[in-house]
Structure 1
Amino acid sequence: MKTDLRRTLLAGVSVFAVGLVPAAAGTGPATAAPAASHRVNPAPDNYDARHDPATAGTRATLLAAKPSAAVSGMRAALGQQGIVDIDSLTGTPRQVARLDGFLTGPSRKPAERIARDYLKAHADLFGVDPATLKLGRDYRDIEGTHHLSFLQQVGDVPVFGNGIRADVAKDGSLIQVTGSPVRQVPADLGAAKLTGGQALDTARKDVQETGSTARDSAKLVAMPTAGGLRLGYQTLTMQTGYLHVVDAATGRILYRQSLVDHEAGPDALVWDNYPGAPAGGKQRRVSLGRWLSPAATTLRGNSTHVFSDLNDNDAADPGEEVGPSSPGRFVYPLKQFTGPMCSAQFQCTWDPAVAYSWQDNRAMAATQLLYFNSVFHDHLLAAPIGFTRAAGNFEARDGDQVEANDLDGANTDNGFPDANHVDNANMATPPDGTPPTMQMYLQPAANTTPDEDPWVPSDTGNEASSVYHEYTHGLSNRLVVDASGVSTLNGPQSGAMGEAWSDWYAYDYLQKEGLEKDTRAPGELVVFEYSTGGANTIRTAPLDCAVGAPAAVCPGTATAGSGGYTYGDFGKISRRGAEVHADGEIWAQTLWDLRTKLGYRLSESLVTRAMELSPADPSYLDMRNAILIADRVVAGGRHQKDIWKVFAKRGMGFFAATVDGSDTAPIEDFSTPPAPGSARGSIAGTVTDQGSGQPAAGVAVTFGGHSSGFAGSYAAVTDAKGHYEIKNIFLGTYPKVAASGAGYERQVKTVTVTAKPSTVDWTVRRDWAASQGGAQLVDFNGDDYSDFGCGPNQAIDMSQGTGWSTDAAGPRFITVQLPGAIDVSSIEVNPTGNCGDDPSASTGDYRVETSPDGTAWTVAASGHFGPADRDRANAVPLTAGTTGVRFVRYTMLGTQVADEGGSCPGDYSGCSYVDTVEVGVYGASA
């Protein structure tokens, strides 16, 4: 649901900031995240040292090397719909599977023996001795499938995240193996220099936590990095809901994951069944006996503990528990309030103009929240979903019932909620065994101006869809996990699917129960209509919008068009670009199509089983494949054609393309797979450096969505002559074939592969200032916000989605050392505000200087960027200092506050911060 503007915008930045180094180059090893006093209520980006830019060249190296006999042999053995996805960091398989069958046939052996025998038979591929693996978990889902997790260890210390998961069907067939194990695990990593308490303090400081909870913990793990395994502490800090891995020697943050799933800003509140709803909108008597004991004195059930967290300290203080209205009864009639947005269908539950008016319905709302949580727990537990204790559900006997905080922060401003405690709901889900936290907020006074969304004053915990949406975040974060049980829903695409699953499971249940109507007509399932009094502003389109539906019922957005969304709309639905709630609508509508095609029972089973079968940090195409595999597990593959048709119609066909789960511009395709035995072709060509006209070596040419190993290698790296060749490609049109790497900007083409070998040549432009191409940041000034994904290194990371932000207390510069002496033809700057700042923080006045030695400097360009220069790279006018350049210094001299018609001090980001997205240097070697 909604968050404050700074948090919302910063969360938007995180979509693009996957795998960024938290410490700036030249600053030495980090010890703890620096205090960032200028970021109010920050939501630091998820970060994973395994995805550092330092590892970017690893993939090209891997592709350039001749595939090992083990990899080649496995790909050949699995056939045209085989998946051998090699992790670029470990060189071991991220996933081995087949879309048209299983890895092995039926067997009567124990599931663990089946998995270990397969790993032993292919030890050269997986790079591990199965005898060294510890079985961490083996749970059997309701379809009879065993899900086994094997942990790698260094002594008694488990390897974080990179173990092995194996899935064995009921008949003993090995379905798939996932996980990216680490080769050559050392015997010892030495002793920790930090204590667990110091690691917890570091983690808390990193996310600006000011206190601790009884659920905080720290344990030693071995963290894979580009430089090898590092001893670290895995910490849980539950005040703000984060999981970290902190280097046990240096205190550097190696991994950061927010466990909280928030809904977005003013247009993302979640509602459905509510007081006054046409179906299920009247209070009725029910028994709580299935969840509470007859003598219960508080709302503490077998799956949920509910209390009113009025001061938002995550603890049930005196007066915040809710007791019975009379012995053995929790009967609290709803008191209705009046106001501009209140009506018989949209009933209000408090008055935002009267302090403490929420007290009148406090007990009712808490009782309602326990009922919703308990009902949905039972629904997810039952077949065909089967979210059981073994699968990681939430129950008091396992010590991890949901801690549901109702009216969260309602009394943080003298009887009212402050700005951080309205229009929101969230769910923080730590790994199995630690209780999750659900927080439900108040809706404030109604907005009635044309440019603001209207809101019905109520409590988000009063309504089924709001609660069910948040509860489903717990389901997805407990099922899409690594071998250690840590959620891997970290990227733009997986995060969007997390929001989509939450919408889909909520409405799947409500429609099945007759609380929501869905006929063959499109556009009936308006998502969360109660909060805006039917204004339909929480999602951009109803859940049941078919592809091509009329705009009158499925309006869509100006950037994505009307009708049902397709894969090509990813990153285009929200005006802010990639955004998990908006992009999640694509996946939610696709799954609703699947439900319509296959029925709700089979769809519930396939969608849930696919989560359990998912590789880490999945893309939409990864999850499409997981659903296809789930159909083979659940139904013997009888629905493969129907599933392919559903996904192909939504643009996720065989030739759809995405780099990985972090790709915010995937390419859609509407084709079903080629028939078995279809003809294949090849392409070859030369890649040329645009600046010099010479061959470009080390450039990777890849087929997006296919180069991971699906149906073959589909990738190559240019040799010293700039030549490459890719063979064994199914005939067809591939919309996202790319050439990039070694500092060269990505060039993308649509390539049609025919039976006759094709020549596809490329001309690529090298950015000599790019860190991926060997440039180094050697100096900078100003506050370093690398831990927020917007440090000075982000100005040279070749990404237009991330940028550099610092304080605006004076001129702020970066100095970049180029990998060689360059005759510069162009310097381009994208001066746009980023890191959650408004456009006024965009760079205004600037200066660019060049130097052959880092000592003698020449002003090469200076001037002013204005609003028309935002959101694009701008070539600056070069007047001098363009030959033999080895160093470039870029200085931000001012902001665009005046361009916005403002002045400082004032309520403009540019009064405090100054930003630039990217600086690029182009030319030829001198």
Structure 2
Amino acid sequence: MKTLKAKIEKQVINDVPHRIYDIEVEASEKAPKNIAEDMLRQIAPDLEISPDLSQLKFDQVKDTILGSHVLYQQQFQGKPISGAWIRVDIDPKGKVYNILNDLVPEPVLKKTERMRANKTVSQQTAEAQLTADDVRALALKAVEPSSATAEQILSTELVYFPKDGIPVLAWKVIIDVNNPKAEWKIYFDAVTGGIIDKINILAYANGVGKVFDPNPVVALNDTGLKETSVIPATAYNDIVLNDIGTSGMLDGPFVNTKATNDRVKSPALKFNFTRNDRAFKEVMVYFHIDRAQRYIQALGFNNVLNTSISVNIDGTTDDNSFYSPSSKSLTFGTGGVDDAEDAEVILHEYGHAIQDNQVPGFGASKEAKAMGEGFGDYMSASFFSDKKSAGLKPTIANWDAVAYSGDEPPCLRRMDSNKKYPRDIVGEEHSDGEIWSACLWEIRAAIGRAAADKLIIAHHFLLSPRSGFQDAANALITTDGNLNQGRNERVLHDIFIKRGILPNPGRGNKRAGARYND
């Protein structure tokens, strides 16, 4: 860089820095926002943006155990550019140590201006901009054959969206649909109405579930159980439900069941049910999410989804469950074994909510979605590993899986996959997520549960919605340097090099998971 002594990784499309790290700069006693803006003005020539920062709209300062994270979104002609964000990471002493840049450089924005300027007045008139009503009608058509009504359109916004790297005027629509359940974010060309991008932003877990601690297969160490098995009393744990208040309903500081129809009420605050009672699922989602959040706080995080999340225990008859980024709620399915009966399914879905809270919109690329699934799997496996026999430890959702799995033991997925990147990438997030969860599982084995959980949750603060596997690997290494003075750097490098996520400098920067014909 010309204006700063630091290491950089460049954007894939534009020849400007994407990640700036190992920055040599003095600490400052100024407020984080002022520190960030001083830094941005200094490096504006390198980023190829206006030094007056007039195109950057301040979003927020988020304080975490890594310090302060100052976020800005880029505007063009008064409208936001989708995906164009920059974040400045500042340690607790006031030193900028990491910058993540996805802004569109000025030369590219000038191409957008020229595209409009080169059109004649008659062309501009003929290309009349679509109205919000026009685009709502297009959205309803675009989600067919799924069913949706106009009331299920959650938002419409006029933005600029990078099309082939050049921002074009577009309508962003978010629409909730049924049959199958999905929540689509669709970008339409504001003139032609053509679809530029379409992504399902619901985070899904495949499976069915049951809740004990974590489930009967683990509690009884019996992999021969069936969905129809009579579950003995020894599989149940007597537990304390913390802070449910005096309403008689399961409403607490970190979870509530307000999204559930006809929910249970007990003025005496006694919720002693078995799986034969529908209310049993309410108790299980409350207990397991509440306990998981308290564990996260015990690791040192005081602002990672430390609000009450709403849960619908049986909101779909599908053999599936999901987190909705729009409503910030969880919905569990009743196909097969009811999903809300398996604590590992519950924590997997809660993992999606955690990531969305740390990085709003996380999962905007295929690799990011895969990492979301991998983290959800890891969170479940790590949380319950100490309760499991050796053969069950690297597996999740063993009770959920008895209805469909032919594996021994039955499971939804495993943490000990031998998959490598990019050889085993298939483009399906749950399958590709096994690459990421296997890396996280190896980190846990190398440095221990608490240290790994803290490191893994913390590194999310350094990601963007579209981050890929290599971005996350580098973010984990940077986070370890911040939290642990880098004492696990070698371990992390070795794990990611072995999996092919980071190139191997000892082998000419080849990847371990490269395909032969690559």
> Offset at 1:166?
1.4
Q: Which protein has the larger Cα radius of gyration, Structure 1 or Structure 2?
A: 1
Q: Paired residue for 2:241?
A: 287
Question: Are the structure 2 counterparts of residues 276 and 516 from structure 1 closer, same or farther at C-alpha, using a change threshold of 3 Å?
Answer: closer
Instruction: Give distance in 1, aligned partners of 2:157 and 2:286.
Output: 33
User: Structure 1, residues 407-440: CA drift from partner, whole Å, max 9, x if none?
Assistant: 234xxxxxxxxxxx3422222223xxxx223221
> Offset at 1:150?
1.0
Instruction: Give distance in 2, aligned partners of 1:140 and 1:646.
Output: 29
Aligned 1:128-277 pairs, distance under 5 A: 128-129=49-50, 130-132=52-54, 133-143=56-66, 145-184=67-106, 185=109, 193-208=129-144, 209-213=147-151, 216-226=154-164, 228-239=166-177, 240-264=182-206, 273-275=214-216, 277=218
After superposing the two structures, state which structure 1 stretch, 361-370 or 371-380, moved more.
371-380
Aligned 1:518-917 pairs, distance under 5 A: 524-533=393-402, 535-539=408-412, 542-543=414-415, 545=416, 564-567=418-421, 570-571=424-425, 577-655=426-504, 673=505, 732=508, 734=510
User: Structure 1, residues 700-756: CA drift from partner, whole Å, max 9, x if none?
Assistant: xxxxxxxxxxxxxxxxxxxxxxxxxxxxxxx83636999xxxxxxx9956xxxxxxx
2:450 matches 1:508: no
User: Structure 1, residues 284-326: CA drift from partner, whole Å, max 9, x if none?
Assistant: 24234x1x32024x4444444426xxxxxxx76xxx22131x4
User: Structure 1, residues 164-220: CA drift from partner, whole Å, max 9, x if none?
Assistant: 111111122222222321233579999983343443332233123422557812233
User: Structure 1, residues 8-46: CA drift from partner, whole Å, max 9, x if none?
Assistant: xxxxxxxxxxxxxxxxxxxxxxxxxxxxxxxxxxxxxxx
Instruction: Give distance in 1, aligned partners of 2:302 and 2:200.
Output: 23
SS in structure 1 of the partner of residue 240 of structure 2: coil
Question: Are the structure 2 counterparts of residues 593 and 375 from structure 1 closer, same or farther at C-alpha, using a change threshold of 3 Å?
Answer: same
User: Structure 1, residues 764-796: CA drift from partner, whole Å, max 9, x if none?
Assistant: xxxxxxxxxxxxxxxxxxxxxxxxxxxxxxxxx
> Offset at 1:509?
1.9
User: Structure 1, residues 366-397: CA drift from partner, whole Å, max 9, x if none?
Assistant: 2322333333333334433x262xx5x2735x
1:361 to 268, 274, 277: 277
1:486 to 346, 354, 361: 361
SS in structure 1 of the partner of residue 271 of structure 2: coil
Q: Is the 8 A contact 1:274 1:463 kept in 2?
A: yes
> Offset at 1:532?
3.8
TM-score, normalised relative to structure 2: 0.80
Instruction: Give distance in 1, aligned partners of 2:269 and 2:392.
Output: 41
> Offset at 1:259?
1.5
Q: Paired residue for 2:38?
A: 117
> Offset at 1:594?
0.9
2:299 to 378, 383, 386: 383
The amino acid of 2:132's aligned partner reads G
Q: Is the 8 A contact 2:57 2:74 kept in 1?
A: yes
User: Structure 1, residues 501-557: CA drift from partner, whole Å, max 9, x if none?
Assistant: 00111222223xx43356xxx7743322113448434346x43x4xxxxxxxxxx6x
Question: Are the structure 2 counterparts of residues 579 and 270 from structure 1 closer, same or farther at C-alpha, using a change threshold of 3 Å?
Answer: farther
Q: Is the 8 A contact 1:261 1:426 kept in 2?
A: yes
- State the identity %: 19
The amino acid of 1:249's aligned partner reads V
User: Structure 1, residues 855-913: CA drift from partner, whole Å, max 9, x if none?
Assistant: xxxxxxxxxxxxxxxxxxxxxxxxxxxxxxxxxxxxxxxxxxxxxxxxxxxxxxxxxxx
SS in structure 2 of the partner of residue 427 of structure 1: strand
Aligned 1:73-112 pairs, distance under 5 A: 73=2, 77-78=5-6, 82-88=7-13, 90-97=14-21, 101-112=22-33
Q: Paired residue for 2:330?
A: 438
1:323 to 259, 264, 272: 264
Q: How much is the aligned-residue C-alpha RMSD, in angstroms?
A: 3.5
Instruction: Give distance in 2, aligned partners of 1:228 and 1:653.
Output: 29
Instruction: Give distance in 2, aligned partners of 1:527 and 1:569.
Output: 24
Instruction: Give distance in 2, aligned partners of 1:441 and 1:227.
Output: 39
The amino acid of 1:379's aligned partner reads Y
Q: Is the 8 A contact 2:342 2:400 kept in 1?
A: no
The amino acid of 1:407's aligned partner reads D
2:200 matches 1:424: no
Q: Is the 8 A contact 1:737 1:748 kept in 2?
A: no
Instruction: Give distance in 1, aligned partners of 2:493 and 2:502.
Output: 7
Q: Is the 8 A contact 1:489 1:498 kept in 2?
A: no
Structure 1, unaligned runs of 5 or more: 1-69, 308-314, 335-348, 350-359, 410-420, 445-457, 546-555, 557-563, 572-576, 656-672, 675-730, 739-745, 750-926
SS in structure 1 of the partner of residue 82 of structure 2: coil
Question: Are the structure 2 counterparts of residues 121 and 166 from structure 1 closer, same or farther at C-alpha, using a change threshold of 3 Å?
Answer: same
Instruction: Give distance in 1, aligned partners of 2:254 and 2:187.
Output: 29
2:185 matches 1:306: no
Instruction: Give distance in 2, aligned partners of 1:174 and 1:199.
Output: 42
Instruction: Give distance in 2, aligned partners of 1:283 and 1:210.
Output: 42
> Offset at 1:470?
0.8
SS in structure 1 of the partner of residue 400 of structure 2: helix
Question: Are the structure 2 counterparts of residues 370 and 174 from structure 1 closer, same or farther at C-alpha, using a change threshold of 3 Å?
Answer: same
User: Structure 1, residues 230-288: CA drift from partner, whole Å, max 9, x if none?
Assistant: 33333322343122333333333333221212234xxx556781246427931424234
Q: Is the 8 A contact 2:349 2:376 kept in 1?
A: yes
Q: Is the 8 A contact 2:363 2:465 kept in 1?
A: yes
SS in structure 1 of the partner of residue 235 of structure 2: coil
Question: Are the structure 2 counterparts of residues 611 and 151 from structure 1 closer, same or farther at C-alpha, using a change threshold of 3 Å?
Answer: same
Instruction: Give distance in 2, aligned partners of 1:405 and 1:226.
Output: 40
SS in structure 1 of the partner of residue 169 of structure 2: strand
Question: Are the structure 2 counterparts of residues 141 and 281 from structure 1 closer, same or farther at C-alpha, using a change threshold of 3 Å?
Answer: farther
Q: Is the 8 A contact 1:273 1:281 kept in 2?
A: no
Instruction: Give distance in 2, aligned partners of 1:736 and 1:748.
Output: 13
SS in structure 2 of the partner of residue 623 of structure 1: helix
Q: Is the 8 A contact 1:270 1:538 kept in 2?
A: no
Instruction: Give distance in 2, aligned partners of 1:86 and 1:227.
Output: 11
Q: Is the 8 A contact 1:167 1:177 kept in 2?
A: yes
SS in structure 2 of the partner of residue 624 of structure 1: helix
SS in structure 2 of the partner of residue 102 of structure 1: coil
2:298 matches 1:406: no
Instruction: Give distance in 2, aligned partners of 1:638 and 1:277.
Output: 35
Question: Are the structure 2 counterparts of residues 214 and 269 from structure 1 closer, same or farther at C-alpha, using a change threshold of 3 Å?
Answer: closer
Question: Are the structure 2 counterparts of residues 427 and 244 from structure 1 closer, same or farther at C-alpha, using a change threshold of 3 Å?
Answer: same
Q: Is the 8 A contact 2:497 2:512 kept in 1?
A: no
Instruction: Give distance in 1, aligned partners of 2:323 and 2:408.
Output: 25
> Offset at 1:141?
0.5
Q: Is the 8 A contact 1:408 1:440 kept in 2?
A: yes
SS in structure 2 of the partner of residue 601 of structure 1: helix
